Amino acid sequence: MRSMNGSRRNSGSSLVSSSSASSNLSHLEEDTWILWGRIANEWEEWRRRKEKLLKELIRKGIPHHFRAIVWQLLCSATNMPVKNQYSELLKMSSPCEKLIRRDIARTYPEHEFFKGQDSLGQEVLFNVMKAYSLVDREVGYCQGSAFIVGLLLMQMPEEEAFCVFVRLMQEYRLRELFKPSMAELGLCIYQFEYMLQEQLPDLNTHFRSQSFHTSMYASSWFLTLFLTTFPLPVATRIFDIFMYEGLEIVFRVGLALLQVNQVELMQLDMEGMSQYFQRVIPHQFDSCPDKLILKAYQVKYNPKKMKRLEKEYTAMKSKEMEEQIEIKRLRTENRLLKQRIETLEKESAALADRLIQGQVTRAQEAEENYVIKRELAVVRQQCSSAAEDLQKAQSTIRQLQEQQDNPRLTEDFVAHLETELEQSRLRETETLGALREMQDKVLDMEKRNSSLPDENNVARLQEELKALKVRESQAVASARELKLQLQELSDTWQTHLSRGGRWKESPRKLVLGELQDELMSVRLREAQALAEGRELRQRVVELETQDHIHRNLLNRVEAERSALQEKLQYLAAQNKGLQTQLSESRRKQAEAECKSKEEVMAVRLREADSMAAVAEMRQRIAELEIQREEGRIQGQLNHSDSSQYIRELKDQIEELKVEVRLRKGPPPFEDPLAFDGLGLARHLDEDSLPSSDEELLGVGAALQDTLYPLSPRDARFFRSLEQPTKDSEGSSDSDADELATPYSQGLDN
């Protein structure tokens, strides 16, 4: 007790003073104090030999003043090496400081120790959370942990609270709860759902029918150990048991709450149950926390079954992880296969284009080959005829050589033969040249045919061409046969008709002969019709051949047209891009011109403003100087002789007039006054001069109002000077000086 009281006196953050409560303890409380003091002093012995009694005492509640030392003893946090590092950790910076600062104000906001910004409770809470985030960087900071640290700070100083919190995180499964993955929280929810299904099946069925998941109401129980659910007296009793028995008390209390409120919860929907958990359940055991503890230990809890559930959950999560990995792998393979399919489709399209182009090229080559072969056949025929002519010429030459001894052959005949020989040789030479050209063409076509990727279509076309030629030859032969048959029939008919003597035969034979003649005529017409039909078929075959050639030509023209159309589209797109660039450049040029015009206009406006300001300043300076001179003159009128002063005034007015002309230019008046020396002398001669100072002031004021219009302030000043002076000269002079002094100061300013 002495050691505990000493540590409590040294603590700056303890909320309860043991000295203030010791005077009011009853006899029973004194016995409790003595018992817990003995437990604290003989902790190791009680922990080894009287464990059951210690458990019962903890379940009944640890006295408030003993909680700090007992909690440290329960978690073995009295002498931890990390306590010496606490001050060094506070000097370091943590990446979680902003999150901690944000959540501090929401931790026990109604409690006096933590109420108010920058209070002592908030500061020490920030220190402990920051220090732990530096010690365990994997966990860092989690929101629910601040409530546990806040409860510890209500009982002990911040260094001891830090040590207890580190021990709780390491030894009480809290670290796994507060990891970013929160795997331990999932395990706790799984175990709690199993206990709920086993012990309260009807309530579990109702929760599932309303889609009211366990994590919606039980997550805060495990993360904050009911510190955010119950008031502090009840939550502290649960925390006492948690320090000795671990998370088992959370399962027991949670299931006890559901057993007590099963009937009410069965009658509510999801929203109603949420409101019930937030408003009704937290205050059910405010007056009797022992009843809640008793209900909790009536709940069936099997540690072996919980271990089995833990293994099942671990296996299930491992399987889910493997399935997720497999799904991820399959998705990756699917994405790669899609990319491969797209690539193959592109390659297939390219190959199809190449195949179509190759087929078109092969068709063109086949047509050219067919034409060249026909030309080759013609050339070979010409070559054979030329060779025959050559042989004939050579035989003729040999005959002529044999007949050289014949005197009847003349020289003209020999010359004629030589000419024919030369012509034959020339024709032979031309034929050989044409033959070589055709052979070159044939070789070129064979090379081009050999360079094609596929010769099946060419061979097929050649076979079709051969079959077509065979059919054509057969049709021509059949047409010839029909023509021969028709000719024979015609000849027979003509022969039959040419025979006479039918008038000698009997009438029956005549009728029979007429029928035979008619039958022959019908057969002749039938033969002619068959011949015409075969000719028409032959014509149809020729037309089909021409149609095939025309189709190939049309395909080539269509391909060229599509190529030209694509080229036209490309050129149109390029032209459109160029037009867009041109319009953009024009727009930029227009903007630049507009901007330059605006800048020029702004410069001109600034110059005009500057010139106007300068002119206004000059005019104002001239007016101020004139007003100053007039004020000085008005002051002098009260102290000098009238006639002499008027002459001086005339000179000064002339000087001022010249100066005003120089400064202001020509006068703006429509009917300017004749204010030169003659006019002034004419209007202000010796006879018409005023006889008193008052009349002189009136004349000066009239001149001033006519020439230089005064501002209201200046007018008030001169009206004060025009008032008649009824007092003595000394008093009037002093008044004039007093009135003139501020005005002259204003002019000087």
DSSP assignments along 620-668, one per residue: HHHHHHHHHHHHHHHHHHTTS-HHHHHHHHHHHHHHHHHHHHHHH-S--
- Spatial separation of the C-alpha atoms in residues 407 and 653, rounded to whole Å: 159
Task: Read off the pTM.
Answer: 0.45
Span 442-488, pLDDT tens digits? 777 777 666 554 555 556 666 666 766 777 677 677 667 767 776 77
- Spatial separation of the C-alpha atoms in residues 237 and 63, rounded to whole Å: 10
C-alpha Rg value of the chain to the nearest Å: 65
Does residue 215 sit within a domain? yes
Does residue 357 sit within a domain? no
C-alpha distance from residue 291 to each of 471, 636, 662 (Å): 113, 112, 111
**What is the predicted pLDDT for the residue at 742?**
41
Looking at the structure of the chain, the number of domains it has is 1
- Spatial separation of the C-alpha atoms in residues 694 and 701, rounded to whole Å: 10
- DSSP designation for 711: P
Residue 6: pLDDT band with limits 50, 70, 90: very low
Burial 570-605 (b: 16+ CB within 10 A, else e): eeeeeeeeeeeeeeeeeeeeeeeeeeeeeeeeeeee
- Give which of 67, 69, 81 is closest to 41, Cα–Cα: 69
Does residue 45 sit within a domain? yes
- Spatial separation of the C-alpha atoms in residues 391 and 414, rounded to whole Å: 18
CA dihedral 370, 372, 377, 381 (to 10 degrees): 160
Span 532-587, pLDDT tens digits? 777 777 777 777 777 777 787 788 778 888 888 888 888 888 888 888 888 888 88
The SS3 of residue 214 is coil
* 732 or 125, which is more confident: 125
**What is the predicted pLDDT for the residue at 404?**
60
- Spatial separation of the C-alpha atoms in residues 6 and 720, rounded to whole Å: 92
What range defines the domain where residue 81 resides?
24-324
Does residue 210 sit within a domain? yes
Does residue 335 sit within a domain? no
- Spatial separation of the C-alpha atoms in residues 4 and 553, rounded to whole Å: 111
Does residue 673 sit within a domain? no
Burial 277-310 (b: 16+ CB within 10 A, else e): beeebbeebeeebeebbebbeebeeeeeebeebe
Does residue 189 sit within a domain? yes
* 666 or 385, which is more confident: 385
- Spatial separation of the C-alpha atoms in residues 523 and 517, rounded to whole Å: 10
- For residue 183, give the CATH number of its domain: 1.10.472.80
Span 366-381, pLDDT tens digits? 888 888 888 888 888 8
- Spatial separation of the C-alpha atoms in residues 392 and 383, rounded to whole Å: 14
Q: Which residues contact 270 (CB under 8 A, 6 or more apart)?
A: 210, 211, 212
- Spatial separation of the C-alpha atoms in residues 680 and 684, rounded to whole Å: 6
Residue 725: pLDDT band with limits 50, 70, 90: very low
Residue 237: pLDDT band with limits 50, 70, 90: very high
Q: Are 544 and 471 in contact (CB under 8 A)?
A: no
Helix (H), strand (E) at residue 385: helix 303-402
- Spatial separation of the C-alpha atoms in residues 193 and 213, rounded to whole Å: 9
Q: Please tell me the total number of residues recorded for the chain in this structure.
A: 749
The angle subtended at Cα 249 by Cα 67 and Cα 218, nearest 5°, is 115
Highest mean pLDDT among 30-39, 133-142, 396-405, 674-683 belongs to 133-142
Does residue 489 sit within a domain? no
Span 250-286, pLDDT tens digits? 999 999 999 999 999 999 999 999 999 999 999 888 8
- Spatial separation of the C-alpha atoms in residues 243 and 631, rounded to whole Å: 100
Lowest mean pLDDT among 37-51, 271-285, 315-329, 666-680: 666-680
Q: Are 238 and 60 in contact (CB under 8 A)?
A: no
Span 160-217, pLDDT tens digits? 999 999 999 988 888 888 888 888 899 999 999 999 999 999 999 999 999 999 989 9
Span 7-35, pLDDT tens digits? 333 333 333 333 333 344 345 566 778 88
**DSSP helix, strand, coil percent of the chain (3-state; round to 5):** 80, 0, 20
**What is the predicted pLDDT for the residue at 394?**
78
- Spatial separation of the C-alpha atoms in residues 257 and 214, rounded to whole Å: 13
The angle subtended at Cα 132 by Cα 128 and Cα 136, nearest 5°, is 175
Q: Which residues contact 220 (CB under 8 A, 6 or more apart)?
A: 144, 228, 229
Span 590-630, pLDDT tens digits? 888 888 888 888 888 888 887 887 788 888 788 887 877 77
Q: Are 382 and 434 in contact (CB under 8 A)?
A: yes
pLDDT greater than 50 at residue 1: no
